[in-house]
Amino acid sequence: MASEVKVPTLGESVTEATIGEWLKQPGDKVALDEPIASLETDKVAVEVPSPVSGVMGAHKVSVGDTVEVGAVIAVIENETAAGESTQVEPRERVETEGVQERAAGEELEDPPKDDEHHDHATTLSPSVRRAVLEHGVDPTQIKGTGKDGRLTKEDVLSAAKAKKDSPAPSVSKEAPAPSPAPSAAGGERRSERVKMTRMRQTIARRLKSAQEEAALLTTFNDVDMTAVIEAREAYKDLFAKKHGIKLGFMSFFAKASCLALKDIPAANAYLEGDEIVYHDYVDISVAVSAPNGLVVPVVRDADSKSFARIELDIADFGARAKDGTLTMQDMQGGTFTISNGGVFGSLMSTPIINPPQSAVLGLHRIEDRPVAVNGQVVIKPMMYIALSYDHRIIDGREAVTALKIIKDAIEDPMRMLIDL
């Protein structure tokens, strides 16, 4: 007896998704609620759990196919029935068919592939697969840090960096140097055509729409990070001991942004038709890097949350983005966005707003620079910050003022305590 696997409900207003990857192949044993497939929606990747335990049956759709909510995408066979079925062959049987057909007495030169490595290689997501090809690493030799031990793009990049940094083996003076390996097809160059994921298509469409519809403008400032760095250094141990989380920079910028948005409400508003929708709360979308692209989960009511609660929320979002377990609910809403390009080494950028929001704050790397203080040149840890905004509803004076409020709060964190 077989059980059908259907596309689950994906969230409000989401009616379809794309098959991102199959996590189980026909013939694999499957436990109850074990993920068997990954679906890509416009915002997040959603895993499809098995409704029963048994053996993976036939896939009804292929990777890249678009499926609607409720559609049957696979079947799970009863373990006993699957052994008798002629439609679904266990992988071990399929792999040995070629062996049985060989002439009697012929020996195999290659050992059989390790099952664990085989499974590991067949569950690579498209982004991981591209990274493996680009960097020429062996995925079977990399330990995955994703959910259920699966490889993430960061795992591949780390392995590639380790491979690059590892010293070349020494060559004995007596032994002749090994001949260089011949280049593929006399130096033939390769290219690969990969269909954009649904999430990447949505990101591209939304960002292009923002450029075409909004009157985008960016204002810049620089911030002396001395006070925040000293505060973190002074209280990091006590903070971690009490709250179980490190005190990071994002909570400071989130609280500083809340001060600015309270004083400049247009930067916390939506433009809908010929109306401006103002909010008396601050829901901050925090840009987080995930294996399948950039996602922006929302720290809700950031204006009323403590530093610790904001740090805990952001850490949770980061971990779940890496594991691919963020939900549609995590992404919905948001009245303002903070994007931290500094973690990747960015010195300066012009971030694009996240529609229908009207403004986004861009953070960048901290570096020691000479600055003039009281007529003296001193070295300070400085950061450039940028505010991109929709000029249709935010005037230049308001944008500059909002960014100046954030700068002042970071340089004098006491302002955040006494609401200045």
- The partner residues of 370 in beta bridges, in order of sequence, read 379
Q: Please, what sign has the CA dihedral across residues 110, 115, 116, 121?
A: positive
H-helix or E-strand spanning residue 74? strand 72-77
Distances (CA, A) of 180 to 12, 137, 138, 177, 295: 57, 19, 20, 9, 43
Residue 122 structure tokens: 């067949």
Give the residue among 246, 245, 268 at the shortest CA–CA distance from 257: 268
Q: Is 395 a catalytic residue?
A: yes
* Phi, psi at 95, each rounded to 5°: -70, -25
CA 15 to CA 47: how far, in whole Å? 16
Helix (H, G, I), strand (E, B) or coil at 85: coil
Give the residue among 77, 119, 63 at the shortest CA–CA distance from 95: 119
Residue 313 structure tokens: 């929320």
Exactly one of 395, 408, 412, 419 is catalytic; name it: 395
* Phi, psi at 7, each rounded to 5°: -70, 125
CA 209 to CA 203: how far, in whole Å? 10
| Torsion of Cα atoms, 157 then 160 then 161 then 164, to 10° | -160
Helix (H, G, I), strand (E, B) or coil at 276: strand
Exactly one of 115, 138, 301, 391 is catalytic; name it: 391
Residue 205 structure tokens: 């469409």
Contact 410/373 with Cβ under 8 angstroms? no
**Angle at CA 353, nearest 5°, toward 397 and 394?**
25
Q: Is 391 a catalytic residue?
A: yes
Query: Which residues are designated catalytic?
Result: 391, 395
